[in-house]
Amino acid sequence: MAVLDLFSLHGKTAIVTGGGRGLGVQIAKGFAEAGANVVLCSRKVETCEEVAQELTKLGIQAIGVACDVTKQEDVNRLVNTVIEKFGRIDILVNNSGATWGTPAIEMPLEAWQKVIDVNLTGTFLMSQAVGRQMIKQQSGKIINIASVAGLGGTHPQFLDTVGYNASKGAVITLTQDLAAKWGQYNIHVNAIAPGFFPTKMSEVVIERGREYIMQATPLARLGSEEDLKGVALFLASKASDYVTGDVIRVDGGMTAVI
């Protein structure tokens, strides 16, 4: 097989949670450009439908579906919808996310639970439901969007988000454990740990800590609208068929600095 063919997603069907904005849109567009049919889902279905309409201009099928990833009934309904329309699910990107900035000793329990529910439980519920289908198919690619914040602690004056950090660290461990459990079914489970990309969720942190981020990042810039597409495509395609349980950092070198 020619090397460029290894990256083709023609005939594949991908689900991207949180697909109506930010990193989800970037990843979904990359998949569509590679030939995949794309299902975008979030609680705000209108934004997903708008993105889906744009993606169809690339000659693929794309739909937006309402789904709260913390609700098992929503997740099951989404999976059933995708199977009914496309017949199979080849790729799942768990991108839906939430955060809450406050000192750990002041963190409200309800805020902690919200962050854990979306980032960790939502990732598990989606992986579980889609995993059942992938086991039947004996193939599949699951990509979890973690974060460099999940790799360790962060200075409180820069990023005081204990629930977010903890949840993303747990997502990394979940990724590795599912990879160990589901490799026997030819299901690949990997994670991407982005650094700082301009999104609605990160805008406050970037605004307050831009100088620090620039100094701490060897490439001295934020992530762009193109910087996740290639990595996500690699993990979704045959090009990564011998890669599972891995975490790829896309952070401009920030975590390479001692």
Residue 3, domain member (yes or no): no
Catalytic residues: 164
Task: Give pLDDT, residue 198.
Answer: 85
Query: Is 160 a member of any domain?
Result: yes
Q: Tell me, yes or no, whether 74 lies in a domain.
A: yes
Dihedral class, residue 77 (left if φ above 0, else alpha if ψ from -120 to 50, else beta): alpha
Strands (DSSP E) contained in 34-139 are 37-42, 62-66, 91-94
Rounded distance between C-alpha atoms, residue 15 and residue 93, angstroms: 6
List, in sequence order, every residue forming a beta bridge with 222; answer none if it has no partner. none
pTM for the full predicted model:
0.96
In a domain, 97, yes or no: yes
- Flag whether 246 is in a domain: yes
pLDDT at 203: 74
Contact call for residues 196 and 222 (beta carbons, < 8 A): yes
Give the phi and the psi of residue 28 in degrees, each rounded to 5. Answer: -60, -40
Would you give per-residue pLDDT tens digits along the chain (258 residues)?
899 999 999 999 999 999 999 999 999 999 999 999 999 999 999 999 999 999 999 999 999 999 999 999 999 999 999 999 999 999 999 999 999 999 999 999 999 999 999 999 999 999 999 999 999 999 999 999 999 999 998 888 778 899 999 999 999 999 999 999 999 999 999 999 999 898 777 777 788 778 888 888 999 999 999 999 999 999 999 999 999 999 999 999 999 986
- Total number of domains constituting the chain: 1
- Domain of 189? 10-250
Q: Is residue 123 part of a domain?
A: yes
Query: 96: domain CATH number?
Result: 3.40.50.720
Tell me what pLDDT residue 19 has.
Answer: 93
pLDDT at 157: 76
The answer as to whether 255 is a domain residue is no
Does residue 257 form part of some domain?
no
